[in-house]
């Protein structure tokens, strides 16, 4: 389940990065979704999910 969440967040990050990199279209109006911010949130969430998966395998990633 953790790996599926990480894959979903990575896919969302890629999609949001693609949408955020497109040039603005003044005829359609302003962008109502902050794609670059969503890309950053998705990437951070994917990294957290991968760290969680490593912890589930028995490795310690924190202080000790």
Q: How confident is the model at residue 52 (pLDDT cuts 50, 70, 90)?
A: very high
pTM: 0.83
Kindly report, residue by residue over 1-49, the tens digit of the pLDDT: 999 999 999 999 999 999 999 998 889 888 899 999 999 999 999 999 9
Q: What crossing angle do the helices spanning 35-56 and 2-21 adopt, rounded to 10°?
A: 160
Q: Which residues, other chains included, contact 54 with Cβ-Cβ below 8 Å and sequence gap of 6+?
A: 61
């Amino acid at each position: 389940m953790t790996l599926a969440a990480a894959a979903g967040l990575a896919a969302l990050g890629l999609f949001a990065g693609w949408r955020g990199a497109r040039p603005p279209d003044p005829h359609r109006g302003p962008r109502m979704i902050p794609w670059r911010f969503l890309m950053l949130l998705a990437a951070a969430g994917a990294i957290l999910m991968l760290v969680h998966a490593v912890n589930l395998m028995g490795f310690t990633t924190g202080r000790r």
